[in-house]
């Protein structure tokens, strides 16, 4: 009986089913474009929302792609889901192309491999949807697009398995035309992926730090030392502060200065000396709260180390050491542990905390909260809940704004 069922299954899969398999091939190419765009937006720190379109950003407030991709479920076996997704879609597209252009005798093998791949992809997609809904309580819109593609392809594959179409005669010239069409679609997809990556570099929005650097020196300080008029203030800014946050200054002060940062952000590194001077001058008038959030996957261990160091009163030492070694791609765990040993922390204990993900969920919540209040990149500074634009992030301007808020409070 089992042999008969297997034979019947092979018979069903031997049919070319050109239309259905073209759909799966096309959807897999769309998946490649989706994962490429997700990777591009990760590099841009999701500055303009998940899709990277400024006009859509207000509509994406219900989504937080950064928190999702940087959560515990954002990787599998230490590799980003973005990379796994690209490999998955490429494999599905390749097997679909083989099923369309190769002889009927080999076709069932390709389709069975694709069935197993889509089955595994479907199960993992359902797990990710569950994790986003019940663990993170937020979604990544680009991830939802990917989930829709996987569900559709799995449905088409199931339809092929449970329906029968008699095999038809295949003419060689038709197969040659099919090869040409599939190759053309694949080439167009690769070109679109390359264009997405290229435009990320060529048309990346100007960062606040760059804007500040290009502000004319002769511009009067009174025109630059103002809050960001285009961004609404955070009304309940004191509720952002938690016991895990590194702090400095006077906890009883009427002025609260909050900085969001990532240890792998070059602008955060260049801004840090400014913040140190501000703390030295206004440590009595203001309460300074630091919010390290990982904007890249490789920042997670370093941010975890910052929170661990803060518990031991060594946040500043850990942050400055990480800034001193800052490089593209982040620091290796061995380097983080070496810093810990140098500043008097127990490296074994820190390694255990990082490997067990003690701070992962907290970091994800902080990143999600930051996105909800309007943080689009780092460094971001708030004074009593009001956003400070890049041109005003100088010692003089920050001091004026602190004094202004102290008088008004």
Q: What is the domain extent for residue 173?
A: 2-202
The last residue of one of the domains, among 151, 175, 202, is 202
Annotate 75-121 with DSSP letters as a single string.
EETTEEHHHHHHHHHHHHHHHHHHHHHS-TTTHHHHHHHHHHHHHHH
Whether residues 366 and 226 share a domain: the answer is yes
Whether residues 195 and 310 share a domain: the answer is no
The last residue of one of the domains, among 202, 234, 255, is 202
pLDDT (tens digit per residue) in 241-287: 999 999 999 999 999 999 999 999 888 999 999 999 999 999 999 99
Give the residue among 334, 320, 230 at the shortest CA–CA distance from 273: 320
Q: What is the mean pLDDT of residues 175-180?
A: 83
Whether residues 213 and 174 share a domain: the answer is no
Whether residues 196 and 240 share a domain: the answer is no
Question: Residue 69 has what pLDDT?
Answer: 76
Total number of domains constituting the chain: 2
Whether residues 183 and 220 share a domain: the answer is no
pLDDT (tens digit per residue) in 117-152: 999 999 999 999 998 888 777 788 899 999 999 999
Question: Residue 42 has what pLDDT?
Answer: 78
Buried b or exposed e, range 55-92, using 16+ CB within 10 angstroms: eebeebeebbbbbbbbbebbbeeeebbbebbbebbbbb
Whether residues 268 and 197 share a domain: the answer is no
Helix (H, G, I), strand (E, B) or coil at 339: helix
Buried b or exposed e, range 332-350, using 16+ CB within 10 angstroms: ebebbbebbeeeebebeeb
The last residue of one of the domains, among 202, 228, 246, is 202
Whether residues 284 and 327 share a domain: the answer is yes
Whether residues 133 and 66 share a domain: the answer is yes
CA atoms within 13 A on the CB side of 247: 17
Question: Residue 132 has what pLDDT?
Answer: 84
Q: Is the pLDDT of residue 213 over 50?
A: no
Please say whether the dihedral angle defined by the alpha carbons of residues 356, 358, 359 and 362, taken in this order, is positive or negative. positive
pTM of the model: 0.59
CATH number of the domain enclosing 239: 3.40.30.10
Whether residues 140 and 281 share a domain: the answer is no
Q: Is the pLDDT of residue 89 over 90?
A: yes
Whether residues 212 and 198 share a domain: the answer is no
Whether residues 84 and 181 share a domain: the answer is yes
Percent of the chain's residues with pLDDT above 70: 84
CATH number of the domain enclosing 26: 1.20.1440.130
Whether residues 147 and 88 share a domain: the answer is yes
């Amino acid at each position: 009986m089992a042999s008969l069922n297997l034979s019947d299954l092979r018979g069903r899969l031997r049919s070319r089913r050109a239309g259905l398999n073209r759909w799966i091939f096309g959807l897999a190419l769309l998946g490649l474009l989706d994962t490429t765009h997700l990777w591009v937006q990760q590099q841009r720190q999701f500055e303009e929302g998940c899709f990277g379109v400024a006009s859509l950003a207000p509509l994406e407030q219900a989504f937080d792609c950064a928190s999702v991709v940087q959560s515990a479920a954002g990787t599998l076996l230490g590799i980003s889901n973005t990379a796994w997704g690209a490999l998955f879609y490429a494999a599905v597209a390749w097997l679909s192309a083989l099923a369309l252009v190769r002889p009927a005798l080999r076709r069932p093998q390709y389709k069975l491999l694709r069935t197993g791949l889509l089955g595994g992809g479907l199960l993992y997609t359902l797990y990710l949807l569950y994790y986003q809904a019940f663990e993170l309580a937020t979604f990544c819109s680009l991830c939802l697009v990917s989930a829709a593609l996987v569900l559709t392809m799995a449905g088409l594959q199931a339809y092929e398995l449970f329906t029968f179409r008699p095999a038809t005669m295949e003419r060689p010239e038709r197969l040659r035309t099919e090869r040409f069409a599939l190759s053309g679609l694949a080439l167009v997809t690769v070109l679109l992926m390359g264009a997405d990556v290229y435009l990320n570099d060529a048309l990346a929005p100007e960062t606040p730090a760059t804007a500040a650097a290009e502000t004319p020196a002769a511009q009067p300080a009174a025109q630059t030392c103002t809050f960001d008029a285009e961004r609404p203030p955070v009304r309940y800014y004191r509720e952002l502060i938690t016991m895990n946050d590194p702090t400095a200054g006077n906890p009883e002060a009427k002025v609260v200065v909050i900085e969001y940062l990532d240890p792998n952000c070059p602008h955060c590194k260049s801004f840090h000396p400014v913040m140190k001077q501000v703390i030295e001058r206004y440590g009595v008038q203001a309460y300074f709260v630091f919010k390290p959030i990982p904007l890249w996957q490789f920042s997670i261990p370093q941010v975890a180390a910052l929170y661990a160091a803060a518990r031991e009163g060594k946040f500043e030492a850990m942050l400055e050491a990480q800034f001193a070694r800052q490089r593209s791609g982040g620091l290796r765990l061995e380097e983080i542990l070496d810093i810990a040993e140098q500043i008097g922390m127990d490296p074994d204990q820190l390694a255990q905390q990082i490997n067990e993900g003690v701070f992962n969920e907290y970091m994800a919540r902080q990143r999600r909260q930051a996105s909800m209040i309007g943080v689009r990149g780092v460094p971001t500074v708030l004074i009593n809940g009001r956003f400070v634009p890049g041109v005003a992030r100088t010692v003089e301007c920050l001091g004026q704004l602190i004094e202004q808020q102290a008088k008004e409070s």
